[in-house]
Structure 1
Amino acid sequence: MMLDAHLVAAYPPFSLDVRLRVAAGEVVALAGPSGAGKTTALRLVAGLAAPAGGYVLLDGAPLYARPPGRRSVGMVLRDPLLFSHLSVLDNVAFGPRCRGAGTGEARRAATAWLHDVGLGALARARPGELSREQAQRVALARSLAAGPRVLLLDEPLAGVADPARPELRDLLRRHLSCFAGPCVLVTHDPAEAAALADRLVVVENGAIVQDGTPEEVARHPRTRYAARLTTS
């Protein structure tokens, strides 16, 4: 499975022109300064922003041509955006139900995912009762429970208190290592990129300035930002 995207956007004076190829089982981190176009690129892959050109292909087929419910793209945003009127269990069950699972089947799957992310005891809780770190665990479980073919993560550790970040990062690493499809992670955290990504793509001013493993970028940074990113 291959995600092959030419991401083009124009919001004067900002423009984005990025080619991105992510193989099955590969985690690619997009890093760059604020306003570089990282989140815009992610939104274009997901079909949440209007492109000015280019394409997004999954296994050679246009992703945009599929109805939104059949694009099989999972997203974890920096804001978990859980459904406040649903329990934690039913938040996670939402994905399987959208795929056609019955209520009982969806809740059984959700229960298994909640135990897997360490929140089995909070199945009946409401999102307003959760910490930021717990809410991100639920958001991850909700995305994976839907069985996506592509996984997109936009700064999933943002806003998580420092004491909880290493444990959540380890949880993400465990799940991403098992995810069979292409994964794109937006981050500005070098520790996050080094721990989670197979490849680091540095974006500045809407264009790719460097592409390599986190170790390669750290050894031979091509821009001042890349140097600061890998030495901070």
Structure 2
Amino acid sequence: MAEYSTSALNKVVRGPKRASYDVGTINTILDDAFLCHVGYVYKNQAIVIPMAYARKDDKIYLHGSLKNRMMLSLLEAGEASISVTHLDGLVLARSAFHHSANYRSVNVFGKVKKVEDPEEKMKALEYILNHMVPGHWDNVRQPNEKEFKGTLVLEINIETASAKIRAEGVNDEPGDLDLPIWAGVIPIKQVAFDAISDDDLQKDIKVPNAVLNYVTNNKK
């Protein structure tokens, strides 16, 4: 199994037993999310914002306007750090100290470049939309010339990454196990509800299969 080599940049220091550098594990965590958090520096101020993204092979794609300060700052820096986290459960211990959460998280580090080739750029936009709802790109009006030219697409080549995963129960102190206090885990999952059609939808337009499939696959 392929793994990312560890360095001072991606090595998990706290809780190293929960770390994974396995490429397949990291890609699965990335593919199971749609929003990432991107860190950048703007006028000597560290800022983190959520962004839609898509992964294709060893590349992450982001998109924004031509004047987006985050996108321009990433281009200027030439490198990026991206974080993705899934909250899978609340771990409620007997003691306040040992309350925790079950989660799957990934930190990605890579070089940034602007996607210049029009065909590659359009494909990246397709990846991002289909990462939201698989197969939905074919159901929508694709970007016109003005929209396309006004959109900046960045490619982040994943040079290294690490995952950290907690998937376990309560870890209380042995001396607390006999306390008359409830302890356990509340599982958490993001779910989808039935799609709500737009009020201005023309008559006889049905919900696309891609949307129906997404709802069905994410209801439970």
What is the TM-score of this pair, normalised by structure 2? 0.26
Higher fraction of helix: 1
Higher fraction of strand: 2
What is the TM-score of this pair, normalised by structure 1? 0.25
Give the number of the structure with larger relative contact order, counting CA–CA contacts within 8 Å between residues 6 or more apart. Answer: 1
